[in-house]
Amino acid sequence: TQMTLDIKKGVVGVKKGNTPVQMLFCLKEKNQKKINSHRWFFQAFGAVLDPNVCVLIDAGTKPGKDSVYQLWKAFDLEPMCAGACGEIKAMLVHGKKLLNPLVATQNFEYKMSNILDKPLESAFGFISVLPGAFSAYRYVALQNDKTGQGPLEKYFAGEKMHGANAGIFTANMYLAEDRILCFELVSKRNCHWILQYVKSATGETDVPTTMAEFISQRRRWLNGSFFAAVYALAHSFDIFRSDHSFLRKTMFLVEFVYQTISMIFAWFALGNFFLVFRILTASLQNELGTAGKVLFIVFEWLYIAVLITCFILSLGNRPQGSNKWYMSMVYFWGIIMAYLMFASIFITVRSVQGQIETNG
């Protein structure tokens, strides 16, 4: 339709202030997962409709006012923009859900990502992942070349991998196929596409409220993001097959170095946290005497026991069956963090006091 109609008391009239939208509702008989739906859209419907910009929104994601327009505007202003994403917010229901610590921590994480990570990556021109919950792509940029190789070919490769057909690395990598698509767009042969972050475009999404749901979600995210990041870094020199300027390629290489350092820190985060814990608690032992020594021994053995328990539970495939165990571990890590904060403040104050006394 080219106009929206308003029916009141049997009289049909044109409703002012509304933009007409043509809609096609497509229902699959069988659930073949997200990638299959995207294949239908990009390779079947897209070939007929020939769209300019394609906006992807997850079921359950609520776009903010004018958010879809703001995403489209980014493509209109930048002809070489291949993909864009908005700010993903946790659905808080007027702040009521913030009373749940798990929701509050996820809200903080989303905010930090939208304030620090996404704008920095957007400045370089390559965003490591455009969230599938709310993102947009330029249809032309997604297309494969004449040989059938390109972004969509890599994106849909995971759909054909089943069991023995996929190795451990590839199977995990395609848990985060969005990251593969982003890298392939930027490094597309003989092209110079970039990716952008649009802060004015927002979308609210429902976040897990229980520990079991949270672990199920993050285990998939972490596996996929790690292996996809390794893939991007291992193929970082593919950027030289693109048609980007020398300055842009240099910026990409700087970003890849930054991502490599971040990955190394993330890989050793578990060990680094234990080192900080042991150094602080051992230092507190000298300050508190017998009480500090007892706390040091108790916390150290509990730390190791809980860590081993966490590792054993992670070998299972049903976090829902171990929800109480996971919650117990969360409480323990919370106590450890509170103890470390106390230890760092206490040791700092004692050190300053000792320095003041030494100086007279």
- Separation in Å, CA 276 to CA 271, 302, 341: 9, 16, 11
The sheet with strand 194-205 has its strands ordered as 53-57, 134-138, 81-90, 194-205, 62-63
Mention every residue, 6+ apart, whose C-beta is less than 8 A from residue 1. 20, 22
Helix-strand-coil percent breakdown of the chain, rounded to 5? Answer: 65, 10, 25
Active site (annotated) includes residue 178 = yes
Q: Residue 128 and residue 221: Cα distance in Å, rounded?
A: 13
- Alpha-helical regions (H) of 132-210: 139-142, 151-155, 168-173, 177-186
Give me the residues paired with residue 53 across strands: 138
Q: Do 212 and 323 form a contact (C-beta atoms < 8 A)?
A: yes
Catalytic member of 58, 66, 178, 238: 178
Give me the residues paired with residue 54 across strands: 137
Catalytic annotation, residues: 178
